[in-house]
Structure 1
């Protein structure tokens, strides 16, 4: 087997995005610290989604108190959701070193909210490998209150979110990376395959019970924002890629880390 066709799946790695890109208001008094704000900028730069909106700009709702979608046009609407466990998102928020905006251009770095604390943080994409669409359905229908920190707690929260009767734009808050250089299309295919491996049953669940709604998965690779859509069999179809520098909000947040 030649190097050109040798699988690179084992070389593909992920690392969590920093809390400022994931946890809303992680930086106090910084309005840009909201992942929905950079997601809507990136969606507005996508030809695919511009066509869906008949080339109208998507906007955020004035209020979400009545269950409005996060991303709206007259022709098409979506809800943004983080594709991660409740426990890991809380750990990201409470165990990551803090950042304070003292004034414009003046930044302070401080200890985390929970100093010397340890927490259970479940890797959602990993534990989902043991669940099929029928098991996800049963968990959604289960009225039991599972204990925080258990796998059942996180999967139950996830499948309840997955049962939202709206078009869903799921954001996987991890960055894919490789040590070696490969053609972009080859890497994109491997990322798609990796996401399918973990989330295919989720796509089958959505298609079985919420087929009237579209479901997308997005992720980050090497300053690219990749977007996929679930097909009827739970597989993913590549939709678009957008350079992250197209989002002013994302770039502003990135500056806090350097």
Structure 2
């Protein structure tokens, strides 16, 4: 993520062209990415159960030895069901007041999932929320129209999260990013809505390129 932000015209204008440094050690509450005078923290915008579902059902990758990698099925046994809470579907059902009524120790399975997201959103730092899904459409879209549709969807489905964040972490900047057409889309809370600010080719990340060619598509990307 830090490599991608360093390729973002929007963020480089914000840092006066100074590259972000990733903070590997954060035992004192340091932000994930820092410059001399600006820093930002990364958080996942997803329910815990949806992330676990992705982990359990995604194909496995095992490095047997140097130069030998095995690809297999997911961890979840064939035919076994797994229930998870879809992030946007559940968030769109809550008003700001509804979100505020959710406690961290809620026993309700849905509210328990949402409470983890809310805890992240309350972080008092400049925040980049990563919506960890690849966006797509069933019908052909131009890139510009696709980006606008995603922006509209974020404002409709995640508008209350934006307001919740403004109430509990005022004076801190907030961004949401996701992937569309092999690009990282970066949206900013401008105080009224989510606004698309930049798109960055994910292949501009050296780390991503290594993972893509080494492990992507069952190792057949070369």
The total of aligned residue pairs comes to 215
Q: Which residue of 2 aligns with 1:213?
A: 172
Which stretches of structure 1, 4 residues or more, deviate above 4 A after TM superposition? none
Equivalent in 58, 65, 70 of residue 103 of structure 1: 65
Structure 1 position 62, deviation (Å): 3.4
What's the offset of the Cα at 1:165? 0.7
- Mapped partners of 1:241, 1:144: distance in 2: 37
Structure 1 residue 104 displacement after superposition: 4.0
Q: Aligned pair 1:159/2:121, yes or no?
A: no
Contact 2:124 2:169 in 1 (8 A): yes
Alignment of 1:212-231 (within 5 A): 212-231=171-190
**Cα distance in 2 between the residues matched to 1:184 and 1:64:** 37
Larger displacement relative to structure 2 (199-208 or 244-253): 244-253
Out of 73, 80, 83, the residue aligned to residue 120 of structure 1 is: 83
Quote the residue 1:144 is aligned against.
105
The superposition leaves residues 79-103 of structure 1 with CA deviations (integer Å, 9 ceiling, x where unpaired) of 1111111001112222322101223
Structure 1 position 75 matched with structure 2 position 33: no
The equivalent position to 1:135 in structure 2, one of 98, 122, 125, is 98
TM-score normalised according to structure 1 size: 0.78
Do the aligned partners of residues 209 and 74 (structure 1) sit closer, same or farther apart at CA in structure 2, a change above 3 Å counting?
A: same
- Distance in 2 (alpha carbons) for counterparts of 1:62 and 1:40: 11
Please point out which of 173, 176, 192 is paired with 2:151: 192
| Residues 1:92 and 2:50 aligned together | no
**What stretches of structure 2 of length at least 5 have no aligned partner?**
218-222
Structure 1 stretch 43-52 or stretch 98-107: which is displaced more? 98-107
Q: TM-score scaled by structure 2?
A: 0.89
Asked if the contact 1:61/1:72 (under 8 Å) is kept, the reply is yes
User: Contact 2:104–2:116 at 8 Å: present in 1 too?
Assistant: no
Once structures 1 and 2 are overlaid, which stretch shifts more, 80-89 or 50-59? Answer: 50-59
Question: 1:114 and 1:181 mapped to 2: Cα distance?
Answer: 33
Secondary structure of the equivalent of 2:100?
helix
Q: Structure 1: where are the runs of 5+ without partners?
A: 1-38
RMSD: 1.7
